[in-house]
A and B are shown apart, each in its own frame.
Chain A
Amino acid sequence: MKSLKEAEDAIVDEFSMFDEWLDKYELLISLGKNLKPYPEGKRTDENLIKGCQSRVWLDCELKDGCIYMVADSDAIITRGIISLLVDLYSGRTPQEILASDFSVVDRIGLRENLSPTRANGLVSMIDRIREVAAAASVR
């Protein structure tokens, strides 16, 4: 497994190949379409992160010292972003996650190029991942 830093850099490289935002969206959409199916049993209110627009479900599990995530959204671009986050952070230790500044989101331009309400949803998703990591690290 690549280090988190290496994995983040790889994603930034991949996105930097596209100048046009529509092409970046194409990539996010294809990532979203290929996201691993979300277990229906985990589609609970507790796992729902409410945004103004799309709905996001995130389930985190601590196993052998690492945090494993599955996530889903009803919107496809959000699913693409989720897919990026899950790829990056699932299977990492709480310490690795807490050490990350999540600047990858800024470096691929997602935060400023999504509407503020959307960015808020993204921020909530990242906050949730951090919370889970923080809770797991004190256990």
Chain B
Amino acid sequence: MTIDEIRKEFPALSTKVYGKDLVYFDNAATSQRPRSVLEKWNEVSVQSNANIHRAVHYLASQATQAYEQARDCVRDFINASSREEIVFTSGATASVNLVAYSFGEAFISPSDEIIVAQDGHHSNIVPWQLMCLRKGAVLRVIPVDDNGNLELDELAKMLNVRTKLVAVSHVSNVLGIVHPVRKIVDLCHSKGVPVLVDGAQGIVHCKVDVKDLGCDFYVFSGHKMYAAPGTGVLYGKRKWLELLPPFMSGGEMVGTVSFSGTTFAPVPLKFEAGTQNFAGAATFVPAIETVLSFRDGECREREDAIKAYLYDKLLSNNRIHLFGNPRSLEDKIPLFSFVVEGAHHEDLALILDKMGIAVRSGQMCAEPLMERFGVTGMLRVSLAPYNTMEEVEYFVESFERAVRMVI
């Protein structure tokens, strides 16, 4: 697909901001959505709006079909063993909370240990902290080195008989570094410890095969991969999902209910209490098609060229300190976080905004990582395959102008 063909499919990209063409470089926060997703969302809302799984009428069966088709599509996309391993949630955050709660209830006793990473998103830190508080467990942290890589030697030293779970990200939302998930999983499994992977960024940029990765849980959001907001997935190995008690309870997730006791529905419905976001979940089908279409050779080559160009531009600017420098650019998604000597990230983001460029500034839901690098915040540029070389060139030029304004 040519870049023009791609951009035509994303109506939001033609938005004008302050009279200027929008340059959307905050894709790691949320991506824009293609027509196919917007149409599916609308189609289910308009043509088959009925509560799923319950009623026998036509609309209900259409809605249920759209929802369950999406589950099959997600299963296939991440190569899970069965559709029962795919739980729909409201997003990656909800998925982590589900596991942190249910796993905690089932398996955690006082002085047990949970390991998270220093570069974790708050969503993959705070739920574990709360679980540790509830259960009297201890939270331990894998440090990152100066380049932003996880220190796996430290992880190896930390694992012990009290370790009950390790929760890491596939790709850091600040550093853009792709972590060696399979290696981490192998290491943890050699000590009998299960692993949860936060795939919020990874699912967008990396080919994810959960069987190959071997992780016990893999979570992601829809809204960062072109699907509707308020959608998400929890992949869990079936043996774990069967063992975990329910998180939320209510309609849909039950077997039989009586005042003398209630039984629960089989997985995955055991974890899908209440009316689900079925119109949103249905958009996983066109969203996944979009992700896959972006993985063809032409798109990949274009994206890699833009990534390399921007990386060089940032590295060659003496004022810029870039965080997250892997050994090879292949291990980094097109996401760059940095600080600029003498210029506050917030000032630059405000000025760039008025030039039509949307970037992220601040702590990016990773305060512990900001502390690790001794900064109060960073500026983050995150690209999607619909971004163009011209946009990146405009950004570089505008960025230099913004820096001159504030210094």
Could you tell me which A residues sit within 8 Å of B by CB distance? 21-22, 25-26, 29, 52-55, 74-78, 114-115, 117-118
A52 to B349, CA, bound (A): 13
Binary A-proximity of B185-197 (CB < 8 A = 1, otherwise 0) = 0000000000000
Q: Which of B338-364 contact A (CB under 8 A)?
A: 343-347, 349-351, 353-355, 361-363
Residue with the greatest number of chain B CB neighbours at <10 A, chosen from A26, A55, A75, A118:
A75
CB distance from B25 to the nearest CB of A (A): 15
Say yes or no: A29 contacts B406, CB within 8 Å.
Answer: yes
B280 CB–A CB distance under 8 Å: no
Binary A-proximity of B360-395 (CB < 8 A = 1, otherwise 0) = 011100000000000011000000000000000000
A54 to B346, CA, bound (A): 7
> Nearest CB to that of A114 among chain B residues?
B350
Say yes or no: B355 contacts A78, CB within 8 Å.
Answer: no
A33 to B363, CA, bound (A): 25
Could you tell me which B residues sit within 8 Å of A by CB distance? 18, 343-347, 349-351, 353-355, 361-363, 376-377, 405-406
Say yes or no: A53 contacts B406, CB within 8 Å.
Answer: no
Say yes or no: A22 contacts B355, CB within 8 Å.
Answer: yes
Residues in B neighbouring A74, C-beta threshold 8 A: 344, 376
CB distance from B152 to the nearest CB of A (A): 32
Say yes or no: B362 contacts A52, CB within 8 Å.
Answer: yes
Q: Which of A52, A55, A77 contacts B350 (CB 8 A)?
A: A77
Residue with the greatest number of chain A CB neighbours at <10 A, chosen from B18, B350, B376:
B350
A29 to B349, CA, bound (A): 14
A-B contact pairs, 8 of them (CB 8 A): A22-B354, A53-B345, A53-B377, A75-B347, A76-B347, A76-B406, A77-B350, A77-B406
Say yes or no: B18 contacts A21, CB within 8 Å.
Answer: yes
Say yes or no: A76 contacts B362, CB within 8 Å.
Answer: no
CB distance from A108 to the nearest CB of B (A): 15
